[in-house]
């Protein structure tokens, strides 16, 4: 049953629906694929099954490292049957790993469906291992498909970091914290832009190294760089940090709105803001121009997957003139997405949650020009003649900020060009 949750005017003029039913979304383990590249001295040890190992391996399959920063401690039949002591086994695996890899400073024990089923207490295991392995901090979070979808893995990981972040003294001057894993190149661009605005004390969560995680306190003002960080934001709020309400830095408009929130909070004058951002905005505008022709008027359907769907659809509709058939999202955080919802065209159908068959029916009936969805849905839809974009690519590719606006548009334009070629 697709029961409209609220009337349109209650949520920024969008047509909001809520669905429950079968879902087709990756589990939170997927986040390891980009997180292990971000925190360079961290290691992600999935406590899971061979299925978990295959998922991580195939999701990360394109990346070959001499020394990978993730692995799976396999729970096998003996463990599931309660015949082996999983804690002993886990301690053995962790000790061997740290002995072999002294460069590891932060070890995440990542829970999975099997570790949840056998009720393995990874938080106690993390405490025990932190005491045993003196050179390494051990934390835990869940990436299980029972508890998390896809990008919620990053949220759970960052939320696990917050209690251990250094405490900023109460009298410290305000600092800016950017929350959410961003490509290094994007972080560096934002740092330069904040510096040009006169905001000098800018920190990032996660930091690039375990030993340089940011201090957080009452003076911390934070900007979410990703829309899926509900638990992380909650943990930061509890520490006394204050969230700056903003759209997300996708496309030129979103980036300007995001930077404006920081500028307002730190008393940056309009003239300084203009001077710091004008060149970037102009470059983004130039980069986007050819895509307005390619994507203008194209009908786009989003399946719920990454939680990036609302900001992405705002970008497509407002900056490239695309038409939004339906915007699916696994969860709609009303507060974090308030600025985005305000910007969506009035009447946009937004579906929170998923009933896969119903949504597939609506997609097939609509025959959109482009469908943004998970890997599992893309092949069948392509076989039915629909052009698709894998939403996971939007997490692996640097897409935030002015300099990446053109690359972001290209990600959506490419499947249309490929399909056009196939049709020829």
Number of residues that bind ligand SF4 (CB under 6 A): 12
Report, in Å, the least distance between residue 393 CB and ligand SF4: 20
Report, in Å, the least distance between residue 51 CB and ligand SF4: 5
Q: Which of residues 31-60 bind ligand SF4 (CB under 6 A)?
A: 48-49, 51-52, 55
Interaction between residue 374 and ligand SF4 (CB under 6 A): no
Q: Which of 27, 33, 35, 129 binds ligand SF4 (CB under 6 A)?
A: 27
- The DSSP letter of residue 397 is S
CB 220 within 8 A of CB 174: yes
Each residue 117-156 as x (binds ligand SF4 by CB under 6 A) or -, in order, gives: --------------------------xxx-----------
3-state secondary structure 152-176: HHHHHHHHHHHHHCCECCCCCCCEE
Report, in Å, the least distance between residue 31 CB and ligand SF4: 11
Report, in Å, the least distance between residue 294 CB and ligand SF4: 36
Interaction between residue 415 and ligand SF4 (CB under 6 A): no
86 is in an annotated binding site: no
Residue 73 token pair: 């401690």
* 375/362 Cα distance (integer angstroms): 19
Report, in Å, the least distance between residue 140 CB and ligand SF4: 14
What dihedral angle (degrees, nearest 10) is formed by the CA atoms of 349, 232, 27, 121? -150
- The DSSP letter of residue 404 is G
Residue 367 has a CB neighbour count (10 Å cut-off) of: 13
Q: Which of 42, 90, 113, 235 binds ligand SF4 (CB under 6 A)?
A: 113
Report, in Å, the least distance between residue 119 CB and ligand SF4: 15
For ligand SF4, the closer of residues 6 and 58 by Cβ is 58
* 393/82 Cα distance (integer angstroms): 39
Nearest to 225 by CA among 344, 342, 400: 400
**DSSP secondary structure letters along 184-245:** HHHHHHHHHHHHHTT---EEEES-SSGGGPPPB-TTEEEEESSTT-HHHHHHHHHTT-EEPP
For ligand SF4, the closer of residues 114 and 257 by Cβ is 114
* 55/49 Cα distance (integer angstroms): 10
113 is in an annotated binding site: yes
Interaction between residue 308 and ligand SF4 (CB under 6 A): no
Q: Which residues contact 162 (CB under 8 A, 6 or more apart)?
A: 205, 216, 232, 235, 236, 239
* Residues engaged in binding ligand SF4 (CB under 6 A): 27, 29, 48-49, 51-52, 55, 112-113, 143-145
Q: Which residue ranges make up the annotated binding site for [4Fe-4S] cluster?
A: 27, 52, 113
């Amino acid at each position: 049953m697709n029961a409209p949750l609220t009337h349109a005017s209650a949520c920024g003029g969008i047509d909001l629906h809520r669905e429950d039913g079968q879902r087709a979304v990756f589990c939170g383990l997927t986040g390891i694929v980009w997180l292990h590249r971000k925190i360079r001295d961290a290691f992600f040890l999935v406590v899971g099954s061979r299925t978990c190992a295959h998922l991580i391996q195939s999701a990360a399959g394109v990346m070959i490292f001499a020394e990978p920063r993730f692995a799976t401690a396999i729970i096998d039949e003996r463990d599931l049957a309660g015949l082996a002591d999983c804690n002993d086994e886990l301690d053995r695996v962790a000790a061997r790993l740290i002995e072999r890899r002294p460069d590891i400073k932060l070890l995440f024990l990542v829970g999975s469906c099997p570790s949840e089923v056998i009720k393995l207490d990874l938080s106690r295991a993390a405490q025990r291992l932190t005491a045993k392995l003196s050179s390494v901090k051990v934390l835990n979070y869940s990436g299980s498909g029972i508890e998390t979808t896809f990008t919620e893995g990053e949220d759970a990981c960052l939320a696990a970091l917050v209690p251990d972040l250094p405490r900023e003294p109460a009298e410290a001057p305000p600092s800016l914290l950017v929350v959410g894993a961003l490509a290094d190149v994007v972080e560096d661009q934002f740092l330069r832009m904040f510096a040009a605005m006169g905001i000098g004390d800018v920190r990032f969560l996660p930091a690039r190294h375990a030993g340089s995680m940011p201090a957080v306190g009452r003076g911390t003002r934070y900007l979410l760089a990703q829309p899926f960080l509900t638990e992380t934001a909650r943990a930061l709020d509890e520490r006394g940090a204050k969230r700056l309400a903003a759209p997300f830095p996708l496309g030129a408009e979103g980036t300007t709105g995001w930077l404006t929130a920081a500028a307002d909070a730190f008393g940056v004058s309009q003239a300084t803001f203009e001077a710091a951002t004008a060149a970037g905005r102009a470059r983004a505008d130039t980069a986007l121009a050819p895509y307005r022709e390619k994507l203008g008027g194209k009908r786009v359907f989003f399946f719920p997957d990454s939680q990036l769907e609302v900001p992405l659809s705002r970008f497509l509709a407002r900056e490239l003139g695309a038409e939004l058939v339906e915007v699916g999202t696994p969860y709609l955080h009303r507060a974090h997405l308030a600025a985005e919802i305000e910007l969506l065209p009035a009447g946009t159908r937004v579906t929170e949650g998923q009933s896969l068959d119903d949504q597939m029916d609506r997609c097939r009936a609509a025959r959109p020009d482009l469908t943004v969805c998970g890997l599992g849905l893309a092949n069948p839809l392509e076989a039915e003649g629909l052009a698709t974009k894998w939403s996971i690519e939007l997490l692996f590719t640097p897409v935030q900020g002015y300099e990446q606006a053109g690359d972001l548009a290209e990600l959506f334009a490419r499947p249309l060009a490929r399909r056009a070629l196939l049709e020829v």
